[in-house]
Amino acid sequence: MKREPVAVTIWKDGAAWFYLRDDDGAHMATVATAEEAIAYGIVKFITTEEPRFLVRDESGRGWCAERLYTEFDTEEREFISDTALADEEEYGEEPQSFGDWLDNSSANDEYENDDQMFTVIRIN
């Protein structure tokens, strides 16, 4: 069954992108703007809600805040915990940055930042 080409909003690298699928549902491209999607002949857009996160203090100060995906800046996204760096040395694993975790997380996933004593939980 043929479908119409579509652009689906995805969230990566701190911004909204468009994942383009052709009329067979196969991936055509991933582009940064709606204009680029339209240049591929896309007329249907499916938007997804921007991911939201709960940031909770673990140092005893007791604060908590909700943040949108795009509110995490480049410096925050580049952070790699000491634990991840130690795992790289011990097990040869590629360390995951906080930004990588944001991009690949799902609802209820939790990121513990032991270095700066806070936890981030994906809400949606």
With 0.85 as the threshold, say if the pTM is over it: no
Judgement on whether residues 41 and 61 belong to the same structural domain of the protein:
no
39 plus 90 within the same structural domain: no
Evaluate if residue 94 carries a pLDDT over 90. no
Q: Considering only residues 52 and 85, tell me which one the structure prediction assigns the higher pLDDT.
A: 52
One-letter amino acid at 110 equals E
pLDDT value, residue 75: 94
Does the pLDDT value for residue 1 go beyond 70? Answer: no
In this structure, is residue 88 part of a structural domain?
A: yes
- Residues near 56 by Cβ (< 8 Å), separated by ≥ 6? 63, 64, 118, 119, 120, 121
Q: Which residues face 66 on adjacent strands?
A: 54
Q: How confident is the model at residue 35 (pLDDT cuts 50, 70, 90)?
A: very high
Q: How many domains does the chain have?
A: 2
- In this structure, the answer to whether residues 109 and 56 fall within a common structural domain is yes
User: What domain range is 20 assigned to?
Assistant: 6-46
The answer to the question of residue 1 being in a domain is no
